[in-house]
Chain A
């Protein structure tokens, strides 16, 4: 029997998932994506490097800083400029706050998929608000900041919000403790998510899982440590991995990464150097001929931006290597590598934290 879990559904997102079943056993999972395909790669050939930040950061709205950073770093590599130290620390702060926002979102949706617990989902919605207020104080908007430019950041970090920032982090650490007690030690969640959708490390590399899904199977790949960018080489944090590879481990990784992000934020705020925050680069400047491939660790996995320039003001080709497209391939191969029952399909899908606008671009 073929079930069409379509775009109009409380828990499907902007995708149609076709599930072939034989009784309760799932034979095939086929994601049908493309419902939010906007043609960003074609649009970016029609924008210069400052105008191009606006479409590309709307690729993943919860995680805009990491996505915009990959595009801006590719432009900086072609132009051959390096942002000042203060700008690098400000970028790290925004990236880590976006990582927390994105993990809260993915984790809240997974909790709702695992048992229909709107309580945890609404807790995560409420806990995003203090961070959105901080982002509004720094950048001016709640989402889609357009704050990174080639050469630095648009405005300076206001030093008077440092205390409010640290107070928000203290409050958030209490909330993380509450999540651990209410959700991760919850017998229903353990019954639904433990030993479900097991992904072995060699399968994870062969099929191309990305980000926390790869680290949830024991493979320690994290671009922030493999190829440190911005100020990550001066900050002390660890790469979190779990050996089990099931859905519980993947969601646990997201929780532990939020704990690490709080540590990174504290260090970045306390050690921020003073100095200039931007080297001005004109948007009408001609890009030199060349190419650049940058890698940035977003909340869902590693994103790559390959920018090829032929000497004009607009890039010749921009290719975006999306993490969710790789994760969706792993989801579609899940019935072949382990036994999947019909009730496990939403748990597995949401433990990979898909964001379909990122797969469709």
Chain B
């Protein structure tokens, strides 16, 4: 274990683009755990962490929804770790009674068995009307017929004291669709992922608190050839436990003013959250220091999916970008194509080694051969 100060590291595995690692049911979690150990401080998003009934809780991992992650990377938000929070449950009116009861029982289980603070429960006034779609690239996207109903339900939860929101929407399903068959066989895109992200993005953008989504779906028929990476989603009746657990410790999202990014102790910063500058040797305190984009020491992303806002914003700021070639996806938006300087890694194991090198103050180039002479 390194005794060097933590190196805040951003791990991005975009959802809905068929990543071979992290494109299924929380199968990016082992990579996240390793990178958390290597960095001492990992910021990542629900697609990486959510494994339906499976989850992993690690104080070094900060769970930040995608819209907030983008705002964090663009230095519009800071993150303030919290001891715990009260997670409100937002249920789509389109969920059938039996399926709704399953969601409520999952929430009750997390209260009784894990001791989480959950509630209240609010149901939308009308069904949300989730729609799924694929873009020209094959990426998964989606929309809602009634985003207004989603946001009104979220407002009610906040008014009732929730400091995070777990949303559950009824998703369209077709057990025999080619996309689902391919996904369960380990060769397709998660068709639900794009719409899920839209739901959580809308809530976080509107309410400014941590939110994440779990789809409501009826159980699928047994598939003896199910790919291991998709198996976590077939263990139970809901996908909710991971969301409730991860949200229960998700950091606060603090808006930053335009001048708040590069200078510590800036005007307008809440007094109770002292700035933490990892690069200068200060440790992240248990009481909770602010994490800002300017603290980031590395960003890790699939080599072919570097075209998201968070990665581009980090690259523009000069944060070392580790591109994992071993996490293939259906996109080919590489560092070379975009004109970005990257540090290549064949796997997340190698990426973790590079993060550790950066944390220890080693130049990653010195670990490779041939070694060029100084000019």
A binds B: no
CB within 8 Å of A: which residues of B? Answer: none
